[in-house]
Amino acid sequence: MPGMLSLAGGLPAPDLFPAEELAAVVDEVMRDSARAALQYGPVAGVPAMRECIADRAGETGAPTEPGQVLITSGSQQGLDLLARALLAAGDRVVLDDPSYLGAVQTFRAAHAELVPIPGDEDGMDTEVLAARLRRGTRCRLVYVVPHFHNPTGGVLGPERRRHLAQLAEHYGFLIVEDDPYADLAFDGARLPSVDRHTDRVVRLLSLSKTLCPGFRVAGLRGSPELIGTLAAVKQNADLQTNTFGQHVLSRLLLRPRFLPRHLSRLRRHYHARARRLAGLLTDRLPWLAFQMPRGGLFFWCTITSGVDATELWRACVASGVAVVPGPPFCVERDGTANLRLSYATLTEEEATEAVDRLAVTHAGLTGSRGAAG
């Protein structure tokens, strides 16, 4: 919508895409290997891309061979393939409450029964999960976003990672570790993947927030048997992930010293933008409580004035500022006092104006409420 300022999106900042380096590798691909990059490729992925993802998976979790990697058309496809291959109607899927909407929708579309587990800034409360399992709840998958959870920003703590791994071994479920924001830790410190503690993990390694989303190339790490099963489903789904994007991104990741430099720049800028939005919220919106995030793209906020999040969202749209209210992320929990705000894409001027519009919109709602009461 023209003039709309968005604190709503889950989009990464386009000014932080490694555009110069990408232009160089795109040029290399067209010069050196156009015929291969423009042709069909293997179902499970171009070998160089599988190797890059295997290396990245090994650096951040358990040692990984290329045969343990499937290249998917974004991590959303990874979720969909898992649901198609592993879930029958009525199977139980444990997940945080609130959770990433795309995952909730995929599991619902598979007619799974959702088992929401509450959490806090240290992620899913594994004691609550353990109690549910002890009381006889059986589940097939446990879905977690372990770094800078969308929407809450929580980070699954080291103890809980170990505990979750133990529960997976004991009760025989598979952990789906969807970790797109891990590279965006402001202090650069990411925790080791849960697959360090158990084999019962499928990890989704997105590049959308780390490099850029436009090629729709992601990796999925699992056992070679599971990769074979998922590849058969993928062949029916879309034959293969686009060859060109795999050639480009594998070349980019193989550039010496590219990734650490790029990630360091990314973290510095996102941290600055998060601090800036935190300052604006603190100064201008005293009715909004939040914790300063440690990474990722989002502030998960609580409205302390009693205004309903969905009502505020509607009024905000009319005032030219987009936010996301809590309820769509929630399974059982009440999200009517929550807002998710992204600090990724707005300039300083735009962020200031967006927060101004939020302040005025909120004042309008509380004013009219006061007048009506």
Cβ distance to its own copies smaller for residue 124 or 249 = 249
Our finding on whether 347 is near its own copies (CB under 8 A) is no
Count of alpha carbons within 13 Å of 36, Cβ hemisphere only? 13
For the CA atoms of 340, 341, 345, 348, the dihedral, rounded to the nearest 10 degrees, stands at 180
| DSSP at 295 | B
Distance CA 143, CA 347 (A): 34
Q: Given candidates 60, 126, 210, 240, which one binds its own copies under the rule CB under 8 A?
A: 240
Coil, helix or strand for 17? coil
CB 149 within 8 Å of CB 129: no
Q: Given candidates 1, 2, 3, 40, which one binds its own copies under the rule CB under 8 A?
A: 40
Q: Given candidates 143, 186, 244, 290, which one binds its own copies under the rule CB under 8 A?
A: 244
Distance CA 358, CA 319 (A): 8
Cβ distance to its own copies smaller for residue 194 or 266 = 266
How far apart are CB 236 and its own copies at their closest, in Å?
A: 5
Cβ distance to its own copies smaller for residue 78 or 123 = 78
Cβ distance to its own copies smaller for residue 81 or 174 = 81
Q: How many residues does this entry show for the chain?
A: 373
Cβ distance to its own copies smaller for residue 169 or 238 = 238
Instruction: Select from 23-31, 144-152, 181-189, 346-354 the region that touches its own copies (CB under 8 A).
Output: 23-31
First to last CA, the chain: 34
Query: Pattern 204-233, binding to its own copies, x per CB under 8 A?
Result: ----x---xxxxxx----------------
> What is the Cα 181 distance to its own chain's centre?
6
Residues 62-91, interacting with its own copies (CB under 8 A)? 73-74, 76-77, 80
Distance CA 242, CA 306 (A): 48
Cβ distance to its own copies smaller for residue 126 or 240 = 240
> What is the Cα 126 distance to its own chain's centre?
20
Give the position of tokens 């997105």: 206
Q: Which residues bind its own copies (CB under 8 A)?
A: 11-12, 14-15, 17, 19, 22-23, 26-27, 30-31, 34-41, 73-74, 76-77, 80, 102, 105-106, 109, 208, 212-217, 235-245
